[in-house]
Amino acid sequence: MPQPGELILLVSPKGKRYLHRTQEEGEIHTHDGVIDMCQIQAATYGGQVVSHLGRAYRVQKPTLYDLVKGVKRQTQIIYPKEIGYICMRLSIGPGMRIIEAGSGSGSLTIALSWFAGETGRVYTYEQRPEFKALCAKNLAWAGVGRNVEQHERDISEGFLQTGVDALFLDVRTPWDYLDQVAKAVKPGAPVGFLLPTTNQVSDLVAGLEQGPFAGVEIVEILLRRYKPVPERLRPEDRMVAHTGFLVFARCEEQGAAPIPAPERPPKERPEPMDTEPREDEEDSGLDGADDSALGEE
Ligand SMILES: C[S@@+](CC[C@H](N)C(=O)[O-])C[C@H]1O[C@@H](n2cnc3c(N)ncnc32)[C@H](O)[C@@H]1O
């Protein structure tokens, strides 16, 4: 049952989704009529409330997806489809220490705070005070942020932490800050970047090539929704064609010489297999991991 002050998601008969904060009293005005707050107080998650025009709205607990989509925006934000992959690539989880810049509207900050949990720490950097304040407001609105440290600072001056587990930059010219990135993360740490244009990706990759970075990956994530109509199942007519490019790399230990391979007797060549790999089989991306290789999605 929603408690006063909690955020709830109301889903209209046409599937439109609205976030509201519950109150002891009052009413919510919708396109389908007025819904009394006391109805919402009495509702259970998964249940329904009915407007004064008799239209039923479903009452749900917002997911992290709903929270990220619902932030008040004054900057371009990072969308859930990218955030999901970013968190996988940077291995964001309980207890992790993560740096991100710029905070902007805080959509990525909300997700980092959520996944890092009580034992983790998120250090978010923003040079403009109005966006630092907006990020703080959105964190509080979403009910997360107790593990977030906000810094109002131009990252060209460097980060105030060292040895962090992962770092993500969503700024216009990330190649200008690669020295600062390398000083802030643990050796071997994953780092990531979001850029809206391919020109910026080229500049960044050229910068990463100067080291100490390796294992550069460039991806774009396309999300295609389907109309949930069983007898005429097909994609929606429109889709968001472009949001941004993601670049990931590992920050290498600086000045460390490679460990030489131990000497081994030459290996006997195995008998060739009589089955050819299927043409549509994708590279697992895990070279040499034979029997434990994971297939890409
Ligand atoms: C696109 S927004 C970030 C949006 C954010 N990732 C989100 O999901 O809401 C870029 C932000 O980076 C900030 N920024 C740009 N250069 C910066 C720098 N050198 N130091 C700190 N912040 C910077 C900008 O002020 C802006 O708020």
- The residue that leads in pLDDT, 206 or 297, is 206
CB 103 within 8 A of CB 73: no
Same domain, 193 and 84: yes
Which of 88, 118, 81, 87 is closest to 100 using CA atoms? 87
Between CA 82 and CA 195 the distance in angstroms is 11
- Rounded distance from Cα 101 to ligand 1 centre (Å): 6
What percent of the chain lies above the pLDDT cut of 70?
Answer: 91
Beta bridge partners, 122, equal: 98, 148
The answer to whether residues 49 and 90 belong to one domain is no
Mean pLDDT value across residues 15-20? 92
Domain-embedded: residue 289: no
- How does pLDDT run across 141-165, given as a tens digit for each residue? 999 999 999 999 999 999 999 999 9
Give me the pLDDT at residue 258, please: 77
Helix, strand, coil percent content, the chain, rounded in steps of 5 = 25, 25, 50
Confidence label for 260 from pLDDT (cuts 50, 70 and 90): confident
In a domain, 101, yes or no: yes
Distance 208 CA to ligand 1 centre (A): 20
Domain identity same for 120 and 15: no
20 and 131 inside one domain: no
107-116, 255-264, 268-277: least confidently modelled range: 268-277
Question: Do 106 and 228 lie in a common domain?
Answer: yes
| The predicted structure's pLDDT at residue 290 | 54
Q: Which residue has the higher pLDDT, 282 or 222?
A: 222
The closest-lying atom of ligand 1 relative to the alpha carbon of residue 135 is 9
Pocket lining: 181 vs ligand 1, CB cutoff 6 Å:
no
34 in the same domain as 130: no
pLDDT at 79 over 60: yes
Q: Are residues 58 and 79 in the same domain?
A: no
Residue 275 located in a structural domain: no
| Ligand 1 pocket check for 176: Cβ under 6 Å | no
d(CA 117, CA 144): 9
Q: Ramachandran region of residue 66, left (φ > 0), alpha (ψ -120 to 50) or beta?
A: alpha
Task: Indicate the SS3 state at residue 171.
Answer: coil
Separation between Cα atoms, residue 86 and residue 295, nearest integer Å: 19
Global confidence as pTM: 0.90
Q: Of 183, 206, 182, 184, give the one whose Cα is nearest residue 195.
A: 206
Residue 292: which pLDDT band, with cuts at 50, 70 and 90?
A: low
pLDDT, tens digit, for every residue of 36-49?
888 888 889 999 99
- 132 and 34 together in one domain: no
Q: 157-160 long-range CB contacts below 8 Å, 24 or more apart?
A: 158/183, 158/184, 159/99, 159/123, 159/125, 159/183, 159/184, 160/123
Identify the residue whose C-alpha is closest to ligand 1 atom 7: 77
Query: Is the distance from the beta carbon of residue 128 to the nearest atom of ligand 1 less than 6 Å?
Result: yes
SS3 of 41-110: the string is HHCCCCCEEECCCCCEEEEECCCHHHHHHCCCCCCCCCCHHHHHHHHHHCCCCCCCEEEEECCCCCHHHH
Sign (positive or negative) of CA dihedral 17, 20, 25, 29 = negative
Nearest-angstrom CA–CA distance, 125 and 154? 8
Same domain, 56 and 89: no
155 Cα: distance to centroid of ligand 1 (angstroms): 10
Length of the chain as a residue count: 297
- In this structure, the answer to whether residues 128 and 82 fall within a common structural domain is yes
CATH code for the domain in which residue 46 is found: 3.10.330.20
Handedness of CA 2, 3, 9, 12 (dihedral sign): positive
Which residue has a Cα nearest atom 13 of ligand 1? 102
Structural domain span for residue 36: 7-62
Residue of minimum CA distance from atom 18 in ligand 1: 154
Instruction: Return the sign of the alpha-carbon dihedral for residues 64, 65, 67, 73.
Output: positive
In a domain, 129, yes or no: yes
Residue 285 domain-assigned (yes or no):
no
pLDDT at 62 over 80: yes
Nearest Cα residue to atom 5 of ligand 1 = 104
Average pLDDT over residues 182-201: 98
- Ligand 1 centroid to Cα of residue 247, in Å, is 17
* pLDDT number for residue 276: 62
Looking at the structure, tell me whether residues 130 and 181 fall in a common domain. yes
Q: Is residue 53 part of a domain?
A: yes
- Domains held by the chain: number: 2
Domain final residue pick, 251, 266, 285: 251
Q: Which band of pLDDT confidence, cut at 50, 70 and 90, is reported for residue 171?
A: very high
- pLDDT surpasses 90 at 9: yes
pLDDT (0 to 100) of residue 232: 97
Q: What is the DSSP code string of 10-30?
A: EE-TT--EEEEE--SS-EEEE
- Note the pLDDT tens digit of each residue in 91-128: 999 999 999 999 999 999 999 999 999 999 999 999 99
Determine which residue's CA is closest to atom 12 belonging to ligand 1: 102
Q: What is the CA radius of gyration of the chain?
A: 24
What average pLDDT does the structure give for the chain?
92
Atom number of ligand 1 nearest to Cα 104: 27
6 falls in which pLDDT band (50, 70, 90)? very high
Rounded distance between C-alpha atoms, residue 255 and residue 271, angstroms: 42
Give yes or no: residues 15 and 113 share one domain.
Answer: no
221 belongs to a structural domain: yes
Domain boundary among 212, 229, 251: 251
**How many Å lie between the centroid of ligand 1 and the Cα of residue 88?**
22
Residue 39 within any structural domain of the chain? yes
Residue 76 CB–ligand 1 contact under 6 Å? yes
- Where residue 225 falls among pLDDT bands split at 50, 70, 90? very high
Ligand 1 center–CA 103 separation, angstroms = 5
What CATH number corresponds to the domain at position 189? 3.40.50.150
